[in-house]
Amino acid sequence: MPTVLLITEQEGLRLLFTRLGQTGPFRLRVAPTLAQGEEEISVRLPHYLFVEAGLAGLSGAVTLRYLRGLLPEEVEVILMTQEASVSEEFRKAGGLFSLDLSLDDEALQRSISDILPRSVPQQAPPLPEPFPSSEKTARELLFAGPAEAPYYPG
């Protein structure tokens, strides 16, 4: 079952996606900020990422580049905005799908349902889990070992 990560501050969008998730074939995870979205991504990669434009004051193109740096190519990023110019900027930056938030709830539900099956096949293989982070620092990992005298070739 595909996973959708929704990054939005809008309660109405959360409710809309929750209703869709209850009847649709996907699991929903929600984050209210980009920082919390990044945490969610590090815990488990989503299949789809819907993100509200303008979070943290970033443009659609900058948001796409930021998220693309965190995600593998298989994850589709969908920008949600009410402004056509932001959608166009997002597409020019390489985004495939955007969601027009000026639509009513019923039209938004149809748009979301149309986007989901087009970008990931029904039986897509599961995405790889991110590597768990170590509780040790890089220095501890690199220099930790048996308490032996160091070997110096000479």
pLDDT per residue of the chain (154 residues) written in tens, 0 to 9: 789 999 999 899 999 999 888 877 788 999 999 999 999 999 999 999 999 888 888 877 788 888 888 999 888 888 888 777 666 776 776 677 778 888 888 988 888 888 876 444 444 455 555 555 556 655 555 556 554 555 555 5
Q: Is residue 137 part of a domain?
A: no
Largest CA distance in the chain: 76
The answer to whether the beta carbons of residues 120 and 48 sit under 8 Å apart is yes
Q: Is residue 68 part of a domain?
A: yes
Domain CATH code at residue 23: 3.40.50.2300
By CB atoms closer than 10 A (0-12, 13-18, 19+), residue 17 is buried
Q: Is residue 85 part of a domain?
A: yes
In total, how many domains does the chain have? 1
| pLDDT reported for residue 11 | 92
Reduce the DSSP state of residue 4 to 3 states and report it.
Answer: strand
- Domain span at residue 36 reads 3-126
Q: Is residue 111 part of a domain?
A: yes
Q: Is residue 147 part of a domain?
A: no
Q: Is residue 71 part of a domain?
A: yes
By CB atoms closer than 10 A (0-12, 13-18, 19+), residue 120 is middle
